[in-house]
Structure formats: C-alpha cells, structure tokens
Structure 1
C-alpha cells in the first residue's frame, strides 16, 4: 500500500507538466499589433491622464487669475478693481500685505540721521538745508556690458561739476534702486570729492507692484524742501510733486547731453530765493520734465529782466501805468514767477535805481526783504563751513591712513 501511494505521488507532477501546453510563439506582425494596441490614445489609462492634465491646467489658470486680480493695480485693471472692492478681496489683500510687509517696506523708519548729523559737529541751531535726491542708474551714469570688457560705467556729461555746484546749496542724497554691493563702487568712482552726504540703496525702497518706490516721507527731512532728479516717475509715485524728470542717459557716446547743466540755474534758484514749498514751485510749470522747467524758467527770468529795465527807464509811476496795458502772456509770466517764489533779483544787477524815494511803508518792506536776504546768506555761510569741515576731516583721515 505504501509503495503504491508513493508511486502515485511521483506520477502526479509529471502528469501535470505533460498536460500543460507549451506557450505559443507570436510572429512579428502579432507582436506589432499588440504594441499598437497598448499605445492607442483611446484606451482607458490614456483618458485618465488627459483628465488629470486638464484639471491641473484649469486649477493653475484659476489661481493665476485670482492672484492677478488681488495684486494688480486697481487703477489700471477693471478686474483688479472689482475683485479688491469685495469684502473677501479686501480681507485677502490686507492679510497678504501684512505678511509681505517685511520684504516690501523700507529697512528702517528714518532713512537719514537726524539733522545735524553727529559726525559734522554742528550747532543744533544750524538750519537744515534743502535736500536734493539724485537717482544713479541712467540718471548720473550709464552701465553697459560686453564680452570683452565686462561691466563699464559712463558718466553723464557735466555730472562732476553738477555735483560740486549742488553741494554748495543742498544736502545731496544719492538714492539708487540697485543693491549696495553694485552701486557703492560706482558712487565711490563717481563722487571722489564726497559731495553726496548720504547713499541709499534698494533695501531703503518701498516695493509696490513690481516697482522700487522711493518714499520721501521716510527721509527724516522737511518734505516741502525735498527735490528729486530721476528718470522714472513711477519711482516717485507716492510723492509725484517733488520730482524733476530727466530723460535716461543710455548712449555713452553722446557728449552733447546738457540736461544737468540746463537744470542747474533753476535748482540753485530754489535755494537762493528761499523757496519753502518745492511741489508748489514745480506745479507752476507746464510739466515736470527737466527740459520744460529749464526753458520756462529762462523765459521767466528774461521777462523779469525786461520788466526791471522798464522800471528803471520809466520810473515807478510809468511802470505802473504801462503794466495796466501789459499783454496777458507777460502779466501771467510775471505772476507765475512771483507765486513760485523765484524772483529775478540776481538778474536786476546793481544799476542805479531811477525810482522816486520811498515812503515809510516801502522802507519797511525793503528793510524786511534785506533782513531775509542777510539771513539766507548766513545760512549759506554756515553750510559752506560744514562742507569745508568735512573736506578737512577727509584730508586728515587720508593722512592718517597714509
């Protein structure tokens, strides 16, 4: 019995192997047909993949439209204005702005030190001068790159003399939207005489919808006495009334560029005439372009000079009578000059006055104007001392290092 059971157990696997049919080999045509069937786009697996990609694309488009409607400028886009006016849009915009405030706001509340700075050793009674904020890239210098020389910078014609002239009147601030590591070596090469007292870079700007904006309210100086020279009006979109727009200097071979030289008389007059409200003075011109301001200011001075010569030749009474018949354009130019605070006293010269003697009232006003002029001269003398002391400190520092 045992021998028979053992033989049956050995015979069973052998019979199973014999009963299994060998695999049938496919010819080349059959194999090609099987591969084409697997690659057929109408199969169930490929359909699932297509649905997945459609879902991903739709979700991405929805999120893109949502982000644009919340972050775009509502003044330029109807979609953004509609989305941000809703309660949900206001809530999302406020929260996103709060989270991003660390990255988009200036690095400190006071971009400039209190006046007077400690390193100048000035008396606290010395008045703060006007502040001139100058853009760097394509306003004072133009940067270019090539494979042979790498980065090179070309100075705008007249920029060094412009800085020297402005340093006698203004507290100069060079404010660049570039990073300090790139801008600082350029300023060192440009301003070898130390005319600019302060340098500000990208970390001091306010990033608003893709633009590095220079917020003048953070300058820690009287806002009404700040004037800006810049190529991009969007960079001053928070205080547009303070900017004088200079066309960008992009051609390093152009030696005929004279925008800095042309605007110098006007900038000097702002200080010489003691203009206390720079935006009001700039608003009197047809535009904020440097060329228009320089041309119209020259016309104002010419008109004032003509009127002064008329006073001297006719006397005061004759001038009053002639002014009643003065053409409207000349009368408007004269009032424009007076309202802007830009008188032509420097052009009038020291020729003998043909006007009759003045009474007490005229004498009082003349004495008051003379006192104001003397006060302005004292302020400028104090500022000159500041510059001289700074130059002396630089020389002493250079001697110690030498």
Structure 2
C-alpha cells in the first residue's frame, strides 16, 4: 500500500511541470514583495525619484560638455596648423586654443626626442680663418654595405669583410677632406669599427651611428643639416639612396658591397674624389650632376680617358695640329676637366 509521500513522489515524476510551477510561484511572490518594499520606500522618501532624475540630467550635461569641448579643441588645433591667423576665424577660443597649442608643442617635443638626433650640430662650428684660407670639404661615409660587409658564420660568429682597397682609400682621404662616419648602424658598433679602421685617430673627424640620424617612415634617414657644414661642400658616399632622399645631389651612390674581393670601386671613386676636392670646384652638387649621382666615377673615368686620347691625337698631329685643335671648343672643354 502506497503512502502519501510515495503518491506525492509519483506525482512529481509523472507531472514534472508541477514542480517547476511551484518554483515560479515562489519567485513571483518574492518579486511582488520586493516591489512592495520599493513602493513603500519611494512613498517614505519622495526625493529619491528627483535625485535619480537630477543624476540623469547631470550625466547628459557632462556628455554634452565633453563632446563640445573636444570638438572645439580639435577645431582650434586645426586652426593652429592650417590657418595663418586663427584669431580671425569663427569658433576661435583663446583658452582652448592655448591648451591645444601647448599639447601640440609637448607632443612635437616628444616626437622630436624619439625620432631626431639629440644634438643639433654633430660637428663643431667652423672657426674663423685668415683671408684666403678655407677648411677642406666634408666627406660623409657609410659603413655597412658600403665599406664593410658582415656575414654570420655558424660556430664562429660575425665575420667582417673589408672592401678591396679600403685601407689605401682611407689613408688618402684626410689629405683632401674632413672625413666623417655617419652610418645607420648602432653607435657602439660604429665606434668599434672606427677604432679598428683608425687606431691612431688621424682619419675620422667624427663617428656617429643611427642615433644621429632621423627616424622617418620606418627607417633611418641621413639629414645633412645636422652635419653643420655648407651643403655645397658636403659629399656623401653610400650604397642606398633612400637613406638620404632629400640630399641626393650630394651623394655618390655605388654598388652595395656583398663581400666579394674582386671589385675596384673604391679605387675609381678615389680618383673622382681627388677631382672634387680641387679648390676651383665651389659646388660639388653641380659637379656631380655632370656625371650623375649613381656610379659617377664610371662616367668621370670615361671622360678622363677620352681627354687623354684627344691629347695624344693632338700631339701626333704636330704643332699645326695643336694650333688648330686649340680653336676647337671641345679641346677647351676637355682642358677644363
């Protein structure tokens, strides 16, 4: 015979909705009780609803104030950058404009600190010289890919290879130029290499790494205004024209050095540099335009050979040939070279 508890259990098993309906009924009763308490609290404190409305109004006002101030700030920032006289423009607010200018100056200072050299002059100012004297022209050299090539050898480490004729090339330069290293390598690496190439410190007037270059468009750019020398007397020897796209007229761009020892590039470049160091050449940029900035030593040597052939042919003609050749404008042009 089944007890009343057994009958109740069978009822719950037979009718599962009965159990859930009881739970829903209990939840509904609890919610009704909570609503009654809330109504009683509101009746006891009538200012609660007013406080909620006031808070919602304050939040709305804060949003309007924030977006209006941001819009005016951005607009005054636009006026400072693109208008010659922002005070005459509609929407100008002095306090907001001053704040925008201050923020812009702070951002620009931080940006310059991160992307530009720490000092404005890499080389000291030119001293006052007696009349008729002048300092030699300035030659800026790049290291990696131009003078040296570094390979990684498994089990050995980094192996540095010098370009053919590098030592003779460097020994000749101080007699003609003020030689400066400005490479896109790290400063520590640049100084170590410079010490190896110039242990007596008689070749290089300064050695600077990538920290002395301008970081722009994801790469390091060589800005010649930091050299502190007249641009008409500055020559840059590099293998990558993108490192100085603003001053390509000052560049001698040669083929990158890949470690092979069979090139004679530095030997040919040295002849061109000897020509550019002459005092009568006042602007190296104009002279380099004659030969082009990409492998200009090739065209220069071709013109030198053509001049030598012309002179030999003239000498073979005798004295009358020389007199006639002097009247030829091509002969006068070859003499100027």
Q: TM-score under structure 2 normalisation?
A: 0.63
Is 1:184 equivalent to 2:191 in the alignment?
Answer: yes
Tell me if the contact between 2:146 and 2:257 (Cα under 8 Å) persists in the aligned partners: yes
- Correspondences of 1:187-206 after superposition (within 5 Å): 187-194=194-201, 195-206=203-214
* SS of corresponding position for 2:246: coil
Tell me if the contact between 2:142 and 2:183 (Cα under 8 Å) persists in the aligned partners: yes
Q: Deviation of residue 101 (structure 1)?
A: 2.4
* Equivalent of residue 214 in structure 1, options 205, 211, 222: 222
Is 1:110 equivalent to 2:117 in the alignment?
Answer: no
Alpha-carbon distance in 2 for matches of 1:277, 1:17: 113
CA 1:335–1:210 in structure 2 vs 1: closer, same or farther (change >3 Å)?
farther
Tell me if the contact between 1:158 and 1:258 (Cα under 8 Å) persists in the aligned partners: yes
5+ residue gaps, structure 1, are: 1-13, 25-86, 117-122, 325-330, 344-402
Higher Cα Rg: structure 1 or 2?
Answer: 2
Q: Deviation of residue 107 (structure 1)?
A: 2.1
Alpha-carbon distance in 2 for matches of 1:111, 1:199: 9
Q: Deviation of residue 100 (structure 1)?
A: 2.3
Alpha-carbon distance in 2 for matches of 1:172, 1:138: 18
* Equivalent of residue 259 in structure 1, options 259, 265, 272: 265
CA 1:320–1:144 in structure 2 vs 1: closer, same or farther (change >3 Å)?
closer
* Equivalent of residue 289 in structure 1, options 278, 291, 295: 295
* Equivalent of residue 280 in structure 1, options 277, 281, 286: 286
Could you report, residue by residue, the CA deviation over 1:235-276 in whole angstroms, capped at 9, with x for unpaired residues?
11111101011111112xx22111000111110121235311
Could you report, residue by residue, the CA deviation over 1:129-162 in whole angstroms, capped at 9, with x for unpaired residues?
1111110001111011123111121111110100
Match of 1:232 in 2: 240
**How many residue pairs align between the two structures?**
244
Alpha-carbon distance in 2 for matches of 1:111, 1:281: 26
- Correspondences of 1:3-402 after superposition (within 5 Å): 19-20=8-9, 98=108, 100-116=111-127, 124-125=129-130, 127-194=134-201, 195-251=203-259, 254-299=260-305, 301-302=307-308, 305-306=311-312, 309=315, 313-314=319-320, 317-321=323-327, 323=328, 331=330, 335=333, 338=336, 343=337
Could you report, residue by residue, the CA deviation over 1:61-80 in whole angstroms, capped at 9, with x for unpaired residues?
xxxxxxxxxxxxxxxxxxxx
Q: Deviation of residue 105 (structure 1)?
A: 1.8
Match of 2:16 in 1: none
Tell me if the contact between 1:263 and 1:294 (Cα under 8 Å) persists in the aligned partners: no
Q: Say what the alpha-carbon RMSD is for the aligned residues.
A: 3.4
Q: Deviation of residue 230 (structure 1)?
A: 0.1
